[in-house]
Chains A and B, each alone.
Chain A
């Protein structure tokens, strides 16, 4: 099947292995520097599958589909190096994704991997990114509550945005508690999955659950420094994409992080304080090396 083309930047020569592209209908939905993301509505090898357990019983959406992440060969690299890198990175990402899912962290469910071909199958998360959601909420809040003075919008942000950002911090804390760093935490790499449920009184409560995606740069690390850098990258992402209220947002994320780290166990408190201290140091640093001739 053909891949959709995405603007002038689509890689003309890159094609999926034919065994895959001929068997399934795939749509190219995103293209980064390293990988392409395809969407398939069919499960790669279980024709009648739909993922159970991720969506509540009262709200079974027909499957949001499945994501195929493909790392194509890079022609500028020596072929031996290229094969090595593709295999290693694909496998590393798949392992981390699987481990996190098993540990109960909110990430896409891992389905299958083919390291040599650079392919990873995982569940698709049907939902907008945190970045888009914040933009939408901010606009709505400004429009609706502007006449209530300064407190109006601010309070609305506390009511609407804060709970979600606390949840985001919470998820990241779970990730770090497992000695894993994401490597590329931005508000585009956090998706919001709808999990509405019907209350006892029949009212549908729509709820959003943050899902962390894209573990292409993720690594195992026990160092508080690496976790602090992970948080700092997210902080910088907030500052550059949501500059007006970024300070507030980052504060809430970190609140959720500290509260959720190790679920408040005493041993965890020591670790999370260490990470916060490192974060202060990383902020001051900001730059990596200075220029020496």
Chain B
């Protein structure tokens, strides 16, 4: 089955290559610099692990109860990008001349933030006279996950504020097996955090996770798995209804076996929401694993840093004799290094993005990218 990780490329560089990557599809602005080493000439094996020279991120955080709007987010990115690029160069100890290509998130994501970062990337690329490489945000997550964890051919659960997909690799494409039919799971969590006025610092999802750990009662919520797909908007509407009741002074009561009728708290709601939506995600991932015949699961995307999700996935995988791979928040949450990494992989197959093709797109499906750098 999957043999080596690196294909035999016609014009493979024989020296290490370096890329800088800029990410800004949502409220996180990330700049990363990565170095790839060529595979050993003799004996032919996989290339050595990549070296992370810099990975800096600055997040636009709004006050509790508010989400981030495109215009303000773009403004934030514009304000910080120069500083982050300079800082990244300083951390890496490199000069612009040492960089081989400038990678940026071409999509998917929010329009204005994507554009502002793309403009920065184009400017740098012209200033430094280096080729531009447009990267698909989802592919960035997947490739970084594979690199860090060493998972060879996993079923990938990509879950974040903007995306919820179950992906499996086949014939040079990351194919989408299942996805959300309406909103992403992270979006569902973020919006619920707003309803409960939970702070957005460091991220609403993280704070929901903390509250959920203190939850006790399981509140029955709609469970919407439709074949290989999931739907979140109904659950959100339902739980928002309960939350608003409670906030307006009409308490709900738990219906536990022991007959106790304690009031439902926001901790209970956070707990119940997580249990329900994560169970749905684990279910569609399990379906994909059974369908494809895979034993590995890789979780990427911001919601992937949730420990309860990782735990549930691990139980499911272990029961099937498989294994879960997950990364920490440096790579789970949107970052520049994954863009640099995926961009460099593409660059090494001869791929670059001409200026006229560097337009951002909010709708960039994961399976639109031809994965030339894998030969399995």
Contact = CB atoms under 8 A, between A and B. Distances in A.
B349 interface: no
A81 B108 contact: no
Interface string A70-88: 0000111110110011000
Contacts of A290: 363, 365
A34 B25 CA distance: 36
B320 A291 contact: no
Contacts of B321: 8-10, 12
A184 interface: yes
Interface string B265-304: 0000000000110010011001101110101000000000
B183 to A, nearest CB: 9
Contacts of B365: 287, 290-291
A76 B26 contact: no
Given A76-B312, A289-B179, 7 more contacts: A10-B321, A12-B321, A32-B290, A33-B290, A74-B283, A76-B313, A292-B363
26 contacts: A8-B295, A9-B293, A11-B319, A33-B283, A33-B286, A33-B289, A33-B291, A34-B286, A34-B287, A76-B313, A76-B315, A78-B218, A78-B279, A81-B220, A81-B279, A184-B227, A217-B227, A287-B365, A289-B181, A290-B365, A291-B363, A291-B365, A292-B108, A292-B363, A293-B111, A293-B114
B223 interface: yes
Interface of A: 8-14, 32-34, 74-78, 80-81, 84-85, 183-184, 217, 287-293
A75 B279 CA distance: 10
SS class, residues of chain A in contact with chain B: loop
Contacts of B229: 288
Contacts of A84: 220, 223
A81 B218 contact: yes
A109 B70 CA distance: 57
Which of A12, A33, A78 has the most chain B CB atoms inside 10 A of its CB? Answer: A33
B189 interface: no
A30 to B, nearest CB: 11
Contact of B223 (A11, A74, A81, A184): A81
Shortest 10 CB-CB distances between A and B: which pairs?
A: A291-B108, A293-B109, A33-B290, A293-B110, A290-B363, A76-B315, A76-B312, A293-B162, A78-B275, A33-B287
B315 A75 contact: yes
B362 interface: yes
A15 to B, nearest CB: 13
A229 B113 CA distance: 36
A287 B176 CA distance: 10
Contacts of B162: 291-293
A34 B290 CA distance: 9
Contacts of B290: 9, 32-33
Interface string B125-159: 00000000000001000000000000000000000
B357 interface: no
Nearest to A233: B227
A183 B287 CA distance: 14
A291 B163 CA distance: 7
B275 A77 contact: yes
Contacts of A288: 179, 181, 229
B364 interface: yes
B204 interface: no
B364 A11 contact: no
Nearest to A217: B227
A130 B122 CA distance: 55
Given A291-B107, A291-B363, A76 B279 contact: yes
B182 interface: yes
Contacts of A217: 227
B229 to A, nearest CB: 7
B275 A293 contact: no
Given A183-B227, A184-B227, A293 B25 contact: yes
B180 interface: yes
A49 to B, nearest CB: 33
B246 to A, nearest CB: 20
A92 B156 CA distance: 30
A288 B178 CA distance: 10
Contacts of B371: none
A289 B279 contact: no
B56 interface: no
B92 to A, nearest CB: 29
Contacts of A11: 319-320
B316 interface: yes
Contacts of A33: 283, 286-287, 289-291
Contacts of B319: 11-14, 75-76
A293 B302 CA distance: 13
A292 to B, nearest CB: 6
A76 B364 CA distance: 33
Contacts of A13: 319
Contacts of B180: 289
B279 A293 contact: no
B223 A85 contact: yes
A117 to B, nearest CB: 18
Interface string B332-344: 0000000000000
B263 to A, nearest CB: 18
A8 B283 CA distance: 20
Contacts of A291: 107-108, 138, 162-163, 362-365
A81 B182 CA distance: 22
A12 B25 CA distance: 43
Contacts of A289: 179-182
Nearest to A85: B223
A227 B279 CA distance: 28
A76 B282 contact: yes
Nearest to A10: B321
A75 B290 CA distance: 17
